[in-house]
Amino acid sequence: MAETFDVVDIIRTKRDKGTLTNPEIDWVIDAYTRGAVAEEQMSALAMAVLLNGLSGEELATWTAAMIASGERLDLSGVTRPTADKHSTGGVGDKITLPLAPLVAACGVAVPQLSGRGLGHTGGTLDKLESIPGWRAQVSNADFVRQLNDVGAVVCAAGDGLAPADKKLYALRDVTGTVESIDLIASSIMSKKIAEGSHALVLDVKVGSGAFMKDLDRARRLAETMVGLGTAHGVKTVALLTDMDTPLGRTAGHALEVAESLEVLAGGGPADVVELTLALAREMLAAAGVDADPADALSDGRAMDVWRAMISAQGGDPEAPLPVAPEKHVVTAPESGVLSRLDALSVGVATWRLGAGRARKEDTVSAGAGVVMLAKQGDTVTAGQPLFELHADDPTRFERALAALEGGFTIGGTLESRPLIIDRVD
- Which SS3 state, helix, strand or coil, does residue 234 take? coil
Q: Are 74 and 275 in contact (CB under 8 A)?
A: no
Distances (CA, A) of 253 to 92, 207, 279, 287, 356: 9, 22, 21, 30, 9
What is the radius of gyration, based on Cα positions, of the chain?
22
**CA–CA separation, 184 and 49 (whole Å):** 11
Residue positions annotated with a catalytic role: 86, 165, 172, 187, 191
Q: Are 27 and 41 in contact (CB under 8 A)?
A: no
DSSP 21: -
**CA–CA separation, 306 and 283 (whole Å):** 17
CA atoms within 13 A on the CB side of 332: 25
Q: Give kind and range of the element (H or E) at residue 408.
A: strand 408-410
Q: Which long-range contacts (CB under 8 A, 24 or more apart) does 77-80 make?
A: 77/144, 77/148, 78/109, 78/111, 78/144, 78/147, 78/148, 79/109, 79/148, 80/107, 80/108, 80/109, 80/147, 80/148, 80/151
Q: Are 66 and 182 in contact (CB under 8 A)?
A: no
Q: Across-strand partners of 406?
A: none
**CA–CA separation, 66 and 195 (whole Å):** 13
**CA–CA separation, 356 and 344 (whole Å):** 13
